[in-house]
Amino acid sequence: MNELLEMTEARMHVYNMLRNIFANEPTMKVLKSLSNGVLKDLSENEDVKEGVEKMAEASREIKNTRDLDELHAEFARLFLMGKMAVPPYESLYKGGKTLMGDAAVAVRKEYLEEGLQVEKLYQEPDDHIATEFEFMFFLCKKTVAALKKSGEKKAGAFLAKQRDFMETHLGNWAPQFCDKILDSTNSDFYRGAALLTKGFIEEDSRFLKEAGEK
């Protein structure tokens, strides 16, 4: 049980981090921590290791405000409306052509089942990758609480929910999204982030699948 609790807490933190990577541009403080190797032992997965290494290297290269501005500009070019070289919305993957598509509505429903809703409903698409990461974070958080309160009994349901969400949504397009980043940017920071994400998603999918088997 303790193992499961530890795993869930760890995953919870990782999802929080992933959310922050794709929701906002990184601050100097974050870059400092990364260059100090805070993520060094995060995982044994090859992609994660490589990704973490790249992000650390890139962080060390940011020495002044101008470097930082360049990094922020790359974030905007990749993920923000306007250029959006790599759209971070599920609706635009797997054959979808418009924003606020079926995927956005479907995940909105999932969130609501857990009592959650995006703050800027109808204005910001619900299927932004950062929001989906945040949802996984919440589910992990609830799982942790359930584990601490009543042991594995209720946790099963939450883990099942995470697996469903991974299989139906996140895991379905995140790898593609990461590959697209790798094809679209020379920024080591974001190439690293893509690898880290890809590797973690792969591991987590497998983990959730296993956890579901009795």
Partner 1 sequence: MKISRRNFVKLSAATAAAAAFGAQSLSALTDKVNLDLQSGEEQELEDKFSGYDVKYTYDSYCPSECGLEVWTKDGKVEKIYGNYADPYNHGKMCGKGPLGAGLAYSLGRIKYPMMRVGARGEGKFKRVSWDEALDHIATKIVDIKKKHGGESIIVDTGDMTDTPPYYRMGRGMGAPHITEHGSICDTPRRFGPRVFIDGKRWEPDLMRPTLVRQSDGSLKEMGYDDLPLPKYIMYVGWNPFTATRIHYESRGTVTAQIKGCKVIVVDPAMCTTAAQATANGGMWVPILPGTDNHFLAAILRHILEKGYEDKAFIDEYCTGVEEFTSAFKSYWDKTDSSNGMKYFTMEWAADKTTLSKDKIVEIAEIIGTTKPGAICWGMNGVGHRYAGYIASMLGTAINVVMGNFEAPGGTIDCNQVRISKGGNAGGGFFNGREVTRTVNGKPVTGKQKELHMDEMSDWPAGWYDVVGDHPRRILEGIEIKYGPFKGYKYPIKARFEIGGNTVITGSATWKWQEMYAARDPETGEYKLELAVSIDSLLLENALYADVILPAAHYFERYGIADIYPSAPVAVMREPVIKPLGESKTQVEIMNAITKALYEHGDTDIDPNEFWLKYTHDDIFWNEVMEPTPGVKNVGEPLPYPNLPEGYKLLGTPDSLEAGRVTIDDEKKVIHGEPITMDWLRKNQGVAVWPMAWRRYKQAVKTGSGKIEFVWSKLEEENEKIKGGPRPYGFELLEKYTGDVWDEYPTTFFWYEPPYNPANPTYAATTEKYPFQVITARVHQGMTATYANPQQGETPCDSTWWPLNREFEAEVAEWVTVGNDGSEMPKGEIKVVNKRFRRGTYCVATCSMNPDDAKAYGVVTGDVVTIENMLGKTQKNVVLVTHTIRPGVLKLPFGAGGRFSPGVGTTYQQRDYTANVNEFVDPNLLTPIFGFPGYLDIQARIVAVEKPTFATI
Check binding of 9 to partner 1 (CB under 8 A): yes
Half-sphere exposure of 46 (CA within 13 A, CB side): 0
Question: What track of x and - describes contact with partner 1 for positions 44 through 73 (by CB under 8 A)?
Answer: xx----------------------------
Strand partners, 128: 89
Question: Phi and psi for 128 in degrees, rounded to 5?
Answer: -65, 145
The C-alpha atoms of residue 214 and residue 143 are separated, in whole angstroms, by 18
The C-alpha atoms of residue 12 and residue 138 are separated, in whole angstroms, by 8
User: Taking the complex as a whole, how short is the minimal distance between the CB of residue 189 and partner 1, in angstroms?
Assistant: 14
The C-alpha atoms of residue 13 and residue 21 are separated, in whole angstroms, by 13
- How many chain residues are in contact with partner 1, going by CB under 8 A? 62
Check binding of 177 to partner 1 (CB under 8 A): no
Question: Phi and psi for 112 in degrees, rounded to 5?
Answer: -60, -35
Check binding of 10 to partner 1 (CB under 8 A): yes
The C-alpha atoms of residue 26 and residue 151 are separated, in whole angstroms, by 37
User: Taking the complex as a whole, how short is the minimal distance between the CB of residue 183 and partner 1, in angstroms?
Assistant: 26
**Any idea what DSSP says for residue 85?**
S
Stretch touching partner 1 by CB under 8 A, among 69-77, 151-159, 161-169, 180-188 = 151-159
- C-alpha gyration radius of the chain: 17
Check binding of 95 to partner 1 (CB under 8 A): no
User: Taking the complex as a whole, how short is the minimal distance between the CB of residue 8 and partner 1, in angstroms?
Assistant: 10
Question: What track of x and - describes contact with partner 1 for positions 181 through 210 (by CB under 8 A)?
Answer: -------------------x--xx-xx--x
Cβ 30 vs Cβ 56: under 8 Å: no
Check binding of 149 to partner 1 (CB under 8 A): no
**Any idea what DSSP says for residue 140?**
H
Residues in the site for partner 1, rule: CB under 8 A? 3-4, 6-7, 9-14, 16-17, 19-21, 23, 29-30, 33-34, 38-45, 100, 105, 108-109, 111-113, 115-119, 122, 124, 128, 130-131, 134-135, 137-138, 152, 156, 159, 200, 203-204, 206-207, 210-214
